[in-house]
Amino acid sequence: MELKRPKTQTQIAILSFTCFSLFILTVGLDDQVLALLSPPPPTTKASGGERYVQMRAGAAFKIAVFADLHFGENAWTDWGPVQDVNSVKVMNTVLDNETTTDFVVYLGDVITANNIPIANASLYWDQAISPTKSRNIPWASVFGNHDDAPFEWPMEWFSAPGIPPLICPAANSTYSGEEACSFRGTQRIELMKHDIEHDVLSYSINGPKDLWPSISNYVLQVSSSDDPKSPVVYLYFLDSGGGSYPEVISNAQAEWFHKKSEEINPNASVPELIFWHIPSQAYRNVAPRFGIHQPCVGLINKESVASQEAELGIMNLLVKRPSVKAVFVGHNHGLDWCCPYKKLWLCYARHTGYGGYGNWPRGARIIEITQQPFSIKSWIRMEDGVVHSRVTLSP
């Protein structure tokens, strides 16, 4: 992607302060209003200690998946903030069309941290969450390879003496002085802590500490409308790395999944859905060639699978569990297919954000879970309202 740069030091300074003023006026005000209008949800713990979200009586449970939003990309230019506005419009359009959405999954690369020259990147995170939060819809998130990537200095910033012509945006920021100018970025744990502590609608969880720096590893229970202790589906979230450490789901994470799934679903009687950002190497094995043909379902197949660096056991565990119905990933902006792999489905989301590479039309994957009779169905909802690529993932 060709990056558009401001031509003068003054332009950089104005944009820095303008962007922060915009955040205070839009995100900050929304938070205050929501705090008054939206009562906090009740404590939601299943009998096994997992948090749960409960289905509505007589209704299917609908999940909207927003992938690769890339807020904050080229944040110092006039182009970057416009892309963030467009990304908000996509999410608003999807949620306006999918009016019965019960839950939202942010499937990684919520922000492009390597383009954000401030310490407090959570301001961009808040903007990305705002369409969901404003509708009082709960959400959960996993990290991608850009969410805590270290800041990359553009060479165009450096003047002849070798000093970048940048004014640190300390005004209107929760950071000041040297910390605001450190360019160290916002680490995974800080982003997750912010998401959890500042938003009562967030169901994100800091995973087990023995898996850190891999943070977003946890499970949520979708409960029956009749009984909050009765699981209908388990949603597993795994951190596929990237950014501050290698792009991989480690054998320690695989072992955690094995133990946790055996603990809460020992007979594999409850269906399970899996979410992470970077596709596993198994996606290469099922990737369509020369278009998308049955049994695969999708609309765009415009690039090769960019998979994790290694396969360390997670897929072997998933294919052996009959309860695992599908895996959902992002990362590749030019792919939106679902393909069967042994006894489960490997699915891409749809590139939702205007940040990131590629000019393909934006959209979101929708997942619909029906309890009686049980089924898991999915489709893509586009930014223009069109629906395509309907698929049944579990009858």
Q: Is the pLDDT of residue 233 over 80?
A: yes
Q: How sure is the predictor about 182, in pLDDT bands with cuts at 50, 70 and 90? A: low
Helix, strand or coil, per DSSP, at residue 71: strand
Is the model's pLDDT at 280 over the cut of 70?
Answer: yes
User: Given a cut of 80, is residue 23 above it in pLDDT?
Assistant: no
For the cut 90, the answer to whether the pLDDT of residue 150 exceeds it is no
Instruction: Specify the pLDDT at position 184.
Output: 64
Lowest average pLDDT, out of 109-118, 133-142, 313-322, goes to 109-118
User: Which band of pLDDT confidence, cut at 50, 70 and 90, is reported for residue 35?
Assistant: very low
Per the model's pLDDT, the better-predicted residue between 215 and 170 turns out to be 215
Instruction: Give the pLDDT confidence of 283-308 residue by residue, as tens digits.
Output: 999 999 989 999 999 999 999 999 99
Does residue 347 register a pLDDT over 60? Answer: yes
Confidence (pLDDT) at 305? 98
Are 5 and 77 contacting, i.e. CB atoms less than 8 angstroms apart?
A: yes
pLDDT, averaged across the chain: 85
Lowest mean pLDDT among 107-111, 193-197, 279-283, 305-309: 193-197
What CA–CA distance (Å, rounded) separates 101 from 351? 19
Report the alpha-carbon distance of residue 326 to residue 249 in Å, rounded.
17
Lowest mean pLDDT of 48-62, 95-109, 365-379, name the range.
Answer: 48-62
The fraction of the chain above a pLDDT of 90, given in percent, is 70
The predicted structure's pLDDT at residue 395? 81
Alpha-carbon separation of residue 77 from 87, 129, 324 (angstroms): 16, 22, 44
What pLDDT was estimated at residue 154? 73
DSSP H/E element including 157: none
| Nearest CA among 138, 254, 134, 144 for reference residue 202 | 138
Q: CA-to-CA distance for 284 and 304, rounded, in angstroms?
A: 8
Span of 157-171, 226-240, 253-267 with lowest mean pLDDT: 157-171
Instruction: Give the pLDDT confidence score for residue 151 in this predicted structure.
Output: 79
Helix (H, G, I), strand (E, B) or coil at 107: strand
Q: What is the mean pLDDT of residues 186-191?
A: 88
Confidence of residue 76 (pLDDT cuts 50, 70, 90): confident
> Which band of pLDDT confidence, cut at 50, 70 and 90, is reported for residue 34?
very low
Of 248, 221, 204, 289, nearest to 51 by C-alpha is 221
Task: Choose the weakest-confidence range: 21-35, 124-138, 182-196.
Answer: 21-35
pLDDT at 185 over 60: yes
Mean pLDDT of 231-255: 96
Mean pLDDT of 18-34: 36
- What local confidence, expressed as pLDDT, does residue 166 receive? 53
Say if residue 194's pLDDT is above 80: yes
Q: Which of 93 and 153 is assigned the larger pLDDT? A: 93
Mean pLDDT of 369-382: 97
Q: What does the pLDDT read at residue 153?
A: 74
pLDDT at 245: 87
**Measured between alpha carbons, how far is residue 107 from residues 54, 270, 305, 349 in Å?**
21, 23, 17, 8
Q: In what order do the strands lie in the sheet with 363-370?
A: 139-142, 103-107, 61-66, 363-370, 375-382, 387-394
Whole-angstrom distance, CA of residue 98 vs CA of residue 383: 12
Rounded Cα distance between 273 and 350, Å, is 17
Give the least confident one: 36-40, 45-49, 137-141, 239-243: 36-40
pTM to 2 decimal places: 0.86
Q: pLDDT over 70 for what percent of the chain? A: 80
Q: How far apart are CA 222 and CA 231, in angstroms?
A: 6
The SS3 call for residue 3 is coil
